[in-house]
Amino acid sequence: MAANPKTQMVKLAIGAVTVSSVVGITGWLWQTTHPAEASTQTAATGAGGDGQIGQGQGFTQQGGQPPQGGQSQPGGSGTDGIGTNNNGASGSGTTTPRQRRRQSGQSFGSAQPPLFADPNTQPSQQSRTRHS
């Protein structure tokens, strides 16, 4: 274990801390079954037809989904509204829940790794991190 430098912490004071072997993290993508998705599809396609969604109750938005106070433009203090869908149960149509995959936004692990400077390089500015 000690032969692999990536499995060791470096102790700057005394001695060394040896750690267990590197255990891979098996990715962060996750999947979930989304019960409301079926109802949403039913509403959109009409398939099944006789579910609650098909009767026009749809996706109720309390608080208004176009935002109150603007789409959070810089300078504005308004926030987007939030709404609820109380028709969480699927319609009785033919659609079935399917697996969805994370698809939007920057993932937790997708950032470029940090780029360090050789300690002999003269810095051009400085900043400070403290403990919070």
Partner 1 sequence: MNTWITVTGASTDLAPWFEQVEVNLSRFRPDSPLCQLNRMPEHWVVVPSLLFDAIEQGLAAAEATGGAYDPTILAALEASGYSRSFELGPSPTGPSQPAGRWQDVKLDYALNAVWLPAGVRLDLGGIGKGLAVDGGLEQLTSAPRAVINAGGDLAVRTAPGDGPVRIEVAEPWDLSRTMASFGVYRGAVATSSTLGRRWGDGLHHIIDPRTGLPAASGLIAATVVAGSAAQADVLAKACIVLGAEKALPLLHTYQSEALLVTEQHELLTTPAMKGWLYANL
**Measured distance CA(50)–CA(19) in Å, rounded:** 60
Minimum CB separation of residue 51 from partner 1 in Å reads 15
Contact 42, 90 (CB under 8 A): yes
Binding residue (CB under 8 A) for partner 1 from 7, 94, 96, 99: 7
Cβ closest to partner 1, residue 85 vs residue 92: 85
Q: Binding of partner 1 at residue 46 (CB under 8 A)?
A: no
* Residue 58 backbone zone (phi > 0: left; psi -120 to 50: alpha; other: beta): left
Cβ closest to partner 1, residue 56 vs residue 112: 112
CA 37 to chain centre: 18
**Interface size with partner 1, residues (CB under 8 A):** 75
Cβ closest to partner 1, residue 24 vs residue 56: 24
Q: Binding of partner 1 at residue 106 (CB under 8 A)?
A: yes
**Measured distance CA(66)–CA(57) in Å, rounded:** 18
Binding residue (CB under 8 A) for partner 1 from 40, 42, 52, 95: 40
For the beta carbon of residue 131, count every other beta carbon within 10 angstroms.
3
Q: Binding of partner 1 at residue 99 (CB under 8 A)?
A: no
Binding residue (CB under 8 A) for partner 1 from 2, 56, 66, 112: 112
Q: Binding of partner 1 at residue 111 (CB under 8 A)?
A: yes
Contact 93, 49 (CB under 8 A): yes
**Measured distance CA(117)–CA(76) in Å, rounded:** 39
Binding residue (CB under 8 A) for partner 1 from 3, 30, 56, 66: 30
